Chains A and B, each alone.
Chain A
Amino acid sequence: MSSPARLAVAALLVAATVTAGCGGRAPVTVTITIHYSAFDLTDVHVPVGVPVTFVLVNEDPIDHEWLVGDAAFHEKHRTGTHEAHGDVPNEVNIPALETRRTTITFDEPGVLQFICHLPAHEAYGMVGTLTVGG
């Protein structure tokens, strides 16, 4: 199966998982794996008002980030000066060959992006879309 096809199927699976969790308002878990500086899921759908736990698996021997937010948020981080993230649920550093978890409840529907803002990583393709609700 081609890579885009795999991603599409993976996105559908995530959406299905999330949908199944919506009925009972049960927590939702989404696992995103990073390999060769690429997110294996680039189109993730989550519900509004439900805690979503993201399991971020870094299979690379280099550090990565997973920062989720709107366009203004990402513009700030493109030119920001943070040396590290970690205290904010939507700003996660994932050290080389490690896994991090973060739980976020999205209160409003919308379309966000998750991006690794380490130098050249966004240009390399480490960008994904997170659709809340809808």
Chain B
Amino acid sequence: MRRPWLSLAAATAALLITAAPALACGGLIGPNGAVNLLRTTTFAGYHNGVEHYVTAFEFAGGGGAFGSITPLPDIPTKVERGGDWTLQRLVLETDPAVREFAFDALLAAPAAGEAEVLLETTVDALDITILRGGGDEVGLWAKNHGFRLPPDAPEVLDFYADRSPIFMAAAFDADAAVERGQAIGDGTPVHLAIPTDNPWVPLRILGLGKSSAETVQADVYLLTDEKPALLPKAGAFTESEGLILDHSAAASDALLADLRSDAGMEWVPSEAWLTKVVIDASPAELTFDLAIDASGARNPSPVDAGFAPFGPTPAPRPPMALYLALAALLVVALPIGLERAARAASSGRPPLAGA
């Protein structure tokens, strides 16, 4: 089932935060009327060893503060405001049904135990912090900075921190957005340049805080030098729409030219492959990330996909079968050799070599 407007919806997300302290008793927080869930759209481009990660935080009205935490594959060297139309232009490329509306619209408009802060910057009404630390450290930092983490956060943070201890925390100040004159629906794109061996896109975190009755729906756009190999492969789920390869083709010259003309997008190459992956799965199904091999080797990493634990390779186990075979050989060969040696000694000849 296609969701024309949901194709603009979240691809990276999100631990809700509020400025208010968490209340001990249930029933008061829920969907706080003063805090509206932001939606994000994600694009991961990979060229010359650098992942260009563009995500937008959409102002949905209300007041207070809220935000998200996004796992990253490595330390970004640049965090800046994203271009004005990159995400929307990608949507138009793969979903022409929204062409007129969307493009017209866009043209119109550490304490102890905490994670280490690597970078802090502000983009419009977004306060962005790049963190490095384990799951506990990042969780504690988030808690101490007003993020209200859902109960599945500890496990999910560990899931990411075990592979890459780099996170982006984005706190959105809705009051500041109002003061800046931002209207409901206005997006704040953020562009991160992340040198890394191969890009991956966090998917599991999309299910964070969601109940089993909910569905994770998201779109991920990839722009790579060559046709990428993905893990898991699209269509991995048979009982749901799961992971759908919605678009896979050489990027058009018009698209590349449009992207390259946007702010901060001069890195876009003259030739590239455009992939769009749609995620439509239950949180219980979404236990992995999207690993991408853009090198042409077609060997996406199981570790990057979250299928294999990160860490030192276990020491090789003793080749027990070989030991048993050698022992059996000795059991058989030793008596024979001794017998031949005895015969040789008795006959005055040397024993046969290797016997």
- A interface list, Cβ under 8 A from B: 35-37, 60-63, 65, 77-85, 93, 96-97, 117-124, 126
Contact = CB atoms under 8 A, between A and B. Distances in A.
Contacts of B24: 65, 80, 82-85, 93, 117-118
B152 interface: yes
A62 B25 contact: no
B149 interface: yes
B136 A61 contact: yes
Given A83-B21, A97-B113, A120-B209, A61 B26 contact: no
A77 B26 CA distance: 7
A90 to B, nearest CB: 14
B140 A117 contact: no
Nearest to A34: B154
User: Which of A82, A93, A96, A126 has the most chain B CB within a 10 Å cutoff?
Assistant: A96
Contact of A60 (B23, B137, B139): B139
User: Which of A84, A97, A119, A121 has the most chain B CB within a 10 Å cutoff?
Assistant: A119
B25 A79 contact: yes
Interface stretch (B27-35, B303-311, B326-334): B27-35
Shortest Cβ-Cβ A-B pairs, 6 listed: A61-B139, A80-B25, A37-B151, A124-B151, A60-B154, A36-B155
B25 to A, nearest CB: 3
Interface of B: 21-30, 113, 135-140, 142-143, 148-155, 157-158, 209, 211
A82 to B, nearest CB: 5
B23 A79 contact: no
Contacts, number: 92
A8 B153 CA distance: 26
A59 to B, nearest CB: 8
Contacts of B140: 61, 96-97
A93 B25 CA distance: 11
A42 B139 CA distance: 25
Given A61-B157, A97-B113, A124 B152 contact: yes
A96 B143 contact: yes
A61 B27 contact: no
B135 A126 contact: no
B152 A119 contact: no
B27 A126 contact: no
A67 B211 CA distance: 23
Contacts of B137: 61
Contacts of A77: 25-26
A79 B26 contact: yes
Contacts of B30: 119
A83 B142 CA distance: 19
Contacts of B27: 78-80, 119
A65 B23 CA distance: 11
Nearest to A61: B139
B22 to A, nearest CB: 7
9 contacts: A36-B152, A60-B154, A62-B151, A80-B25, A82-B24, A83-B21, A120-B150, A120-B211, A124-B151
Contacts of B135: 61
A121 B138 contact: no
Nearest to B142: A61
Nearest to B21: A83
